[in-house]
Chain A
């Protein structure tokens, strides 16, 4: 599955789509953004649960082709610094222009998906983090002339899974954790 994903990314990144299928010649497009992943977590026994707010740094770059005036597809790579997991999402995405204003402001629908790898993560003793699937849909504003660099602001929902094996002690036979990070991602960046 991961290999299939990598093939897809390569295919998208290479601008594999034939120009004859689309009304305009595909042009290279890049969205590079940095921001935060905002969320909360509820933990503890059911009688004494605690709510904590969570903020994590996120950065990603999307490189692809503008297939039509409205649609861009490409591959993406990023990095997400969760509190106990440093993940590198690698995947593919689509940018679709929903609305264009006369003041060079475009509202985009954004959908990214992929797999968050734990290549850069260092495990504490007894822990073993494995990555997981990621989906990241949302909307973005692109402010700037279509033919030049633009300012991008995005608001998306990011769902990232991860599995962790935890230290075994006491009378334990098995101790594992399944994590689902449900976060609101707010990013700022540039596009060209």
Chain B
């Protein structure tokens, strides 16, 4: 009997001694390839086409129950959203180098690498380019890939982005730094969007569209505000079809998003949130800067509180991923109330008392923010199985854009967001 026990034990030990941990790290990252275009080539590339499928969506914008979805560097999809359960593509405006847009009344403003292009969209069946302000944007970035204009040689130097997914075996610990093919660069996904409002200008009512928190274009009074990496360029749009170059304001480095709220402008940069007094729309004046670690930070505002998401990765740098809640009662001295850890927050939207935060590849979160000191305890819903880049909360619905397409939710119950529709991308996978 004893021999049997011993044999059983010994054979088990021999077999089990081969036990090996299996730890696999899967990483998806961006890879850049240089590409050049002539300015003439880019300017001739603008035209209206039939509706197309989403391939690599960027930002979203909405006005009068129509959706405008940016196709990164390609143009703008126009979608009829009068029936949110079944949005219908209407047309596609091909605009090389497009990343941002803004709409006032029936005039669409869009960037095309170095130019600002204006379209008349009063008749969606006959959209036409009405004017162009050339060479106003000297450089910029898409998905962390930088482009720049060489005015002398009439060339734009750009980088195409591809997504690479790799898997390696790790030693199941936390101290493994990717090496070799797992190179660490410092670049970032910059984005844009803004919220809109109705302005009374010159006695006539004007209506603006609504953008997300990642916008780089904003409308206020008779001005279109556009931000580049370091400056805010104003355009006078008193004559909407013919924007005139206005003041240029130096903002500092790493500027990313602009959010107009009442007569203030909140500008997100890689080093902090800038607050500008815009009571003189022709010449915004800086009130203060709320500093934070070097990361990307879109911002939204409700009453006396600003909500800033900080994320790492790409050109954002840093390793901070959190939501900062900032008291802006005193606009000259913004004060951090509390920080909440997040996964990889991108755009966000507030429809008080609810706050929606896009977590990039990690989904969408819905919070109740009635108690700003306990937001983490008030997570109402978390949808993990989608890619969320930016969000626009409307009265009862939620528009969301991500790398896997456009989603529309019924947000009347923020504890249980109900999907109304989804426009998928046409690629088999989004990375």
Interface set of A (CB-CB < 8 Å, partner B) = 38-45, 49-50, 52, 54, 82-84, 99, 101, 105, 107, 124-128, 138-139, 141, 155, 157, 164-184
Contact = CB atoms under 8 A, between A and B. Distances in A.
12 contacts: A43-B171, A44-B168, A49-B169, A141-B9, A155-B13, A170-B184, A171-B185, A171-B314, A174-B27, A176-B25, A181-B21, A183-B19
B29 A173 contact: yes
B25 A169 contact: no
Given A165-B362, A179-B23, 18 more contacts: A38-B17, A41-B21, A42-B20, A42-B169, A45-B181, A82-B172, A126-B319, A155-B16, A170-B29, A170-B313, A171-B30, A174-B360, A175-B25, A175-B26, A176-B25, A177-B26, A179-B172, A184-B19
Given A139-B12, A173-B28, A184-B13, A84 B173 contact: yes
Contacts of A139: 8-9, 12
Nearest to B144: A171
Contact of B24 (A126, A167, A178): A178
A164 B170 CA distance: 12
Interface string B304-339: 000000011110011101000000000000000000
B429 to A, nearest CB: 12
B385 interface: no
A141 B1 CA distance: 13
B17 A184 contact: yes
In this complex, which of A39, A127, A169, A182 has the most chain B Cβ atoms within 10 angstroms of its Cβ? Answer: A169
B340 interface: no
Interface string B357-371: 000111000000000
Contact of B23 (A99, A128, A175, A180): A180
Interface residues of B, number: 55
Contact of B28 (A127, A165, A174, A181): A174
Contacts of B24: 177-178
Contact of A38 (B19, B26, B29): B19
A170 B186 contact: yes
A125 B163 CA distance: 26
A41 B8 contact: no
B205 interface: no
B31 interface: yes
A139 B184 CA distance: 47
Nearest to B29: A171
Interface string B147-173: 000000000000000010000111111
A40 B16 contact: no
Contact of A157 (B19, B173, B344): B19
A47 to B, nearest CB: 10
A99 B321 contact: no
Nearest to B16: A184
A98 to B, nearest CB: 9
A109 to B, nearest CB: 11
Given A42-B20, A173-B29, A175-B25, A83 B185 contact: no
